Structure 1
């Protein structure tokens, strides 16, 4: 698979290599080699034929650009590949050449090759996702006590804990990680059905051959050929799209908090990273930019996969081919976003002083709800709300802090003057006090997410041992 210079800019060389033209052709040849070996073991084809086929199942022996050009006329990459494989085997043994691709069909080759490539792609996604989750959990643990502005509808709202905010980025990623594993277990299955999904040529040997092919390729067999049953496959693609969307959420917050006027976070800089061709002072959030680009494109790829599900009868006309073209970009974008965000969080600057300054600059208005609730115990909620609203308007009008105006206003209020603990009311304006509820939630969820990670790691170790 060739990608444009702009796609390359937004992803990683490792993920491009997974879906590279040579990698896909090699995966197709792996299928052909495994098929021949399985059939020989079941006595369907001569053992000599399996050996002859295996001897030339190397992508480097074939003119891949020519195969791609021929596939446009043939309607499938598998057709010219099988033709060339047959020809190459025939150069050594014409009789053995007759057994190439025995009982299989083009879609078996291509779908299984895509399963093998996708398994490699998911390994890259898993490693990058685990690294990012580890970084985020460490960041959250370091900042459970750090007050920061919470913002709703893009405006300052109240005070929260920065650690709690970070966990809000992390939890969807851990859920995505678990669901990707579940979806992969269902979707990464051998495709082997023959011409119309009945394995008619293999007759009673079909099941045994499929089991052997799957074992050779490290896959599970499917309950039945899934040539036009794309539900589990597309669900896996949807999970990649959802993951990319969650990365986009994280990148959005990162970019907003890195704005110069906010200045609470900053991506690493230096060595040309995030610079400008015109403005020497710029420190652009390039990691957030790459993740946002991926998140912006994922919905279109996901929609195309869903659109392609209505495949006709036992083999799709046009929609299967569209699905194949849309599949790699989802993974290419997701891995690019993950790598970019890992780069950002490896050297992220957290400016806690700026976080506090942004809180202090709001004249205490973000504590208005807490003040209103405290006063409601004395005069009821409607009256307390009206009192604090009037006082807030005065703070804005006079450019003064709400806490500064409060003692005078309380002293002038007949119902509040004798019924309020001024020290307790003033404590409401302490950012640490305001962030305490978020801190409690953060401590609890941090423990839960760490436990989840440990359980997943133990599960992975057990699966590897098996």
Structure 2
């Protein structure tokens, strides 16, 4: 049974790989198109420092590459067969028979088995699928956040006859991304079930069997479906550079605070002194509702350390984009 299961998993896994490769190609085309679309980076959901949308998508490209490589390794790991008898001792057939059978089937003979092939192989396969699903969940979650009304930097494709809401005709909900996030939860659960299948009794029990009848085909089919649906979203993702630029300016320059902090430390201030000075300027600007740059230029304390031109240079977002091309080259998108 395990030998036939290995054949099924290998063939199904190859179909999954085809879809994953196509998805990665789509992200690899989206990233360069948006490489120079300036946007705000967020940590904890709060504005942090400038980024470009292309950098987000380049990260997806790199992550999918790792996921594909991981899945290929695990797919190779489950492509093993056994004809070693009831408890793996070759009591009735010699190992040479197993080797010939596996060679003909294109499988690797399991070096040592019991009545079954050890389930760490299958758990690895499920784990790799769960990681891929979680990666796609991360991408889908990003799309969902970028599509929020108050953000509006990206949006799923929307068909002419599609309904965003049965009750509110104006809506365009990110339903595909939400579906992908939901399916990823199943994959993570299936991965845990795969781990539970590893500790079988002695040379075998069948506590794993009923579980695998659900989790192996379901996990494989889910990732295949998720990759195909997400590829359509990525290929047709709507990007709104004007909204990204608007959001980048919402903080009125406060996002330059770290650049000032580091420069002041470089000039000789302690980190505590530099932090207190920059924070006082930032808080004053925030409370007055004026640009951080204007407040910084008027600071007599800051003027003791930096010239007006140096202040303007530190406040410019351009410093955050100097190495974008290098990052793209590092992930193979140069």
Q: TM-score scaled by structure 1?
A: 0.66
- CA 364–158 in structure 1, closer or farther in 2 if over 3 Å, else same: same
Cα gap change, 1:379/1:209 in structure 2, threshold over 3 Å: closer, same or farther? closer
- The aligned residue for residue 428 of structure 1 is 314
Task: Please report how far the alpha carbon of residue 421 of structure 1 lies from its aligned counterpart in structure 2 after TM superposition.
Answer: 2.7
Q: How does 1:441-456 map to 2 (within 5 A)?
A: 441-447=326-332
Correspondence 1:66-85 to 2 at 5 A: none
Name the stretch that deviates more: 279-288 or 354-363.
279-288
CA RMSD of aligned residues (A): 2.2
Aligned-residue offset at 1:338 = 1.0
Native 8 Å contact 2:110 2:117 kept in 1? no
The answer on whether the counterparts of 2:260 and 2:314 sit within 8 Å (CA) in structure 1 is yes
Match of 2:171 among 282, 300, 314: 282
Shift of 1:441: 4.7
The DSSP-based 3-state class of the residue aligned with 1:428 is helix
> 1:228–1:422: structure 2 CA closer, same or farther, 3 Å change rule?
same
Q: Give the length in aligned residue pairs.
A: 332
Note the residue ranges of structure 2 that are not aligned, 5 or more in a row: none
Aligned to 1:156, which of 33, 41, 47?
Answer: 47
CA distance in 1, matches of 2:243, 2:286: 22
How far, CA to CA, are the matches of 2:258 and 2:30 in structure 1?
29
User: Which structure carries more relative contact order (alpha carbon 8 Å, separation 6+)?
Assistant: 2
**Unaligned stretches of 5+ residues in structure 1:** 1-108, 451-466
- Are residues 1:240 and 2:146 paired? no
Cα distance between partner residues in 2 of 1:419 and 1:277: 60
1:229 is aligned to 2:112: no
Q: By how many angstroms is 1:328 displaced?
A: 1.7
Deviation readout 1:410-449 (Å, 9 max, x if unpaired):
xx33xx4365232232133333333334x155233233x6
2:30 and 2:54 in contact (8 A); partners too: yes
1:274-313 to structure 2, matched below 5 A, reads: 275-313=164-202
Paired position in structure 1 for 2:73: 182
Pair member with larger Rg: 1
Task: Describe the SS at the equivalent of 2:47.
Answer: strand
CA contact (8 A) 1:145 1:432 kept: no
User: Structure 1's 433 and 146: CA in aligned 2 closer, same or farther, altered over 3 A?
Assistant: farther
Match of 1:394 in 2: 284
Query: 1:273 deviation in Å?
Result: 4.3
Q: Which residue of 1 aligns with 2:215?
A: 326
- Residue in 2 aligned with 1:115? 6
Distance 1:361 1:443 in 2: 27
Summarize the alignment of residues 406-425 of structure 1 with structure 2, pairs less than 5 Å apart. 406-409=296-299, 412-413=300-301, 416-417=302-303, 419-425=305-311
CA distance 1:378–1:235, change in 2 (3 Å): closer
Distance 2:247 2:294 in 1: 18
Closer, same or farther in 2 for the Cα pair 1:146/1:434, shift >3 Å? same
Higher helix fraction (1 or 2): 1
Q: Deviations over 1:127-150 (max 9, x none)?
A: 111111112122222333332211
Q: Structure 1 residues 401, 224: closer, same or farther in 2, change over 3 A?
A: same
TM-score, normalization by structure 2: 0.91
Whole-angstrom CA distance in 2 between matches of 1:358 and 1:374: 26
Counterpart for residue 263 of structure 1: 152
1:387 deviation in Å? 1.9
Shift of 1:286: 2.2
Which residue is 2:19 aligned to?
128
